Structure 1
């Protein structure tokens, strides 16, 4: 229950910063609204807010990688606490938040991550206040409880296709996504260059080649690779990836997640490291 309260409160406060305080919203936009206003230029909706720190009982804690929240203009939020994911909605009354419905996943987390999620649950309940400092990507959104506990969030930009070290995390066949073969996690990766090149590792052998980008289409040229023989699962992954990185494919980026799908329907999923890591 504490995790659920936390998730909803994050949504509420983010929605609060966007409600009636964005540039150009309503009469008198651009003027100071008084010391009680929370300004957000540009708006916080549609922003991937990463949790940068949590302070509970005077003790500051660094969050696990991936802890974040996103809010859409309709007042629905999704995010991750570093282990479990959540969706939530709220009702707002001025700068106060009334917690509404929320759902979270129930995965078992590593001990240190679970401690963080428990602390977040303690911090996010009751009435919370929000304050935005800075501008653009340098903004910080601070959410504070009546007891002085607080969480700081910063906007994290999406990863670009080129220049990013994309780590392969899954294989796609039709509408389904499968885990990588046993023992191959963190082995396969690829990086696209601005010069139309691509290089990386297929799970066993390293490779390089051409990958022309046009809109949402990738056109792979022949790939050159090393010729090592590896254990069965690694070779299985390599064969699967070679089937994707051949000819034309479409790609899409969702913040720091990349999907590539070949014309055959085979594809891959990959992720980028967190910004600044």
Structure 2
């Protein structure tokens, strides 16, 4: 798959010996991102915001290809000194409507690519393709060879995703979709309604996921949130490659090389203190591998004071109790609560009872940035909180 060649850029390992033509040796095995192109009026124009156009030269076969911002394309190329000829250009036949002008941009780009007659790599490392008169047509920057994004503790917010029609769309207002790499093998996040998790593997620029699970809430608002969640998780499951672009965005590609998920990195705060932080329950695990989100319309909270007391809301009743910590060990005892019985939202009282049972079973805690994790004596994670306002 051509897109995966992006790992090999302008480096000593990509340059073959060619004493008479150093410039020509810079192309095989390199990958480039378009910055500007000549439009139908003959003016140099920057690439539309929210699109990326790539050009990738194969290492050995004199073939080239990439992504136009809507379609994938390929062709052949030949160099002789500073002369270049790109021929037999072909492309897929998708029609994209967003962002406005993307198809016009694609047509202008491919026309300019077919007209390229010379090339040069300037002092800033940019690739410039020009026509036979020497007029610049296309200006590229090298795609950076980034370290894998899947480092412990990195967090990402989804910006856009490819829907069922393979059209790139923004996430719904009022929703947040996250991807968090917890360690070298596992990830978690919020899909907008449910929490999800799974395992992943990185090999070079290839990226694959496995065993994706999610909680079983059904959200009615905002309209379309469940369809968005399904499309997101399907795209994540289909991810086959990744890169981090020059703007620091994480982009996941499917097996065809089409970008399907665009994220921006979230720099999390330092670990929050256990005491004097208001913790809001996100998910709980009543047993086995089952993970449940908090019932929509309910909120469960937990606060630790400096005098060994806890307080909060179980979603229906207020409660209090005592706690003791020793290193990462924690013991929560003497839980007392008010005696209300709540009918709405449905199931909130049963959820509250389960919460108190799990809270009392806590034997270990861990704080990861703005998240508090409680584990039972067997080491199973039973409660997950996030810092609230």
Write the distance in 2 (CA, Å) between the matches of 1:223 and 1:67: 34
Question: What residue ranges of structure 1 are gaps of 5+ in the alignment?
Answer: 1-16, 171-177, 261-268
After superposition, the CA RMSD in angstroms is 4.7
1:5 corresponds in structure 2 to none
Cα deviation digits, residues 189-226 of structure 1 (max 9, x gap): 43123555522324xx15366x5556677677976687
- Map 1:1-277 → 2, pairs under 5 A: 23-25=15-17, 28=19, 33=20, 37-38=22-23, 43-55=26-38, 59-64=43-48, 65-73=51-59, 74-110=61-97, 112-121=101-110, 123-126=112-115, 128-134=117-123, 139-145=125-131, 146-157=133-144, 160-161=149-150, 163=154, 164-166=156-158, 169=161, 179=164, 186-187=171-172, 189-195=177-183, 197-202=187-192, 205=193, 207=195, 211=198, 228-230=219-221, 234-235=225-226, 238=229, 252-255=240-243, 256-258=251-253, 270-273=260-263
How many pairs were matched up?
223
- Note the alpha carbon deviations across 1:2-24, whole angstroms, 9 max, x for none: xxxxxxxxxxxxxxx99xx9645
CA distance in 2, matches of 1:52, 1:244: 27
Q: Which has the higher contact order (CA 8 A, sep 6+)?
A: 1
Secondary structure in 2 aligned to 1:116? helix
Paired position in structure 1 for 2:330 = none
Alignment deviations for residues 140-163 of structure 1 (CA, whole Å, 9 cap, x no partner) = 111122251331111224672454
User: Where does the alignment leave 5 or more consecutive residues of structure 2 unmatched?
Assistant: 1-8, 244-250, 266-389
User: In the TM superposition, what is the alpha-carbon distance from 1:52 to its structure 2 partner?
Assistant: 0.7
Superposition TM-score, scaled by structure 2 size: 0.43
Structure 1 residue 230: deviation in Å? Answer: 3.8
What whole-Å deviation, never above 9, does each CA across 1:122-156 have from its counterpart, x for those lacking one?
5345562211135xxx7311112225133111122
Closer, same or farther in 2 for the Cα pair 1:189/1:25, shift >3 Å?
Answer: farther
Matches of 1:147 and 1:244, distance apart in 2: 43
**Residue-by-residue CA offset, 1:152-185 (whole Å, 9 max, x unaligned):** 1112246724544456746xxxxxxx81799x96
Bigger Rg, which one: 2
Q: 1:47 to 1:194 in 2, by over 3 A?
A: farther
- Normalization by structure 1: what TM-score? 0.57
How far did residue 253 of structure 1 move?
2.0
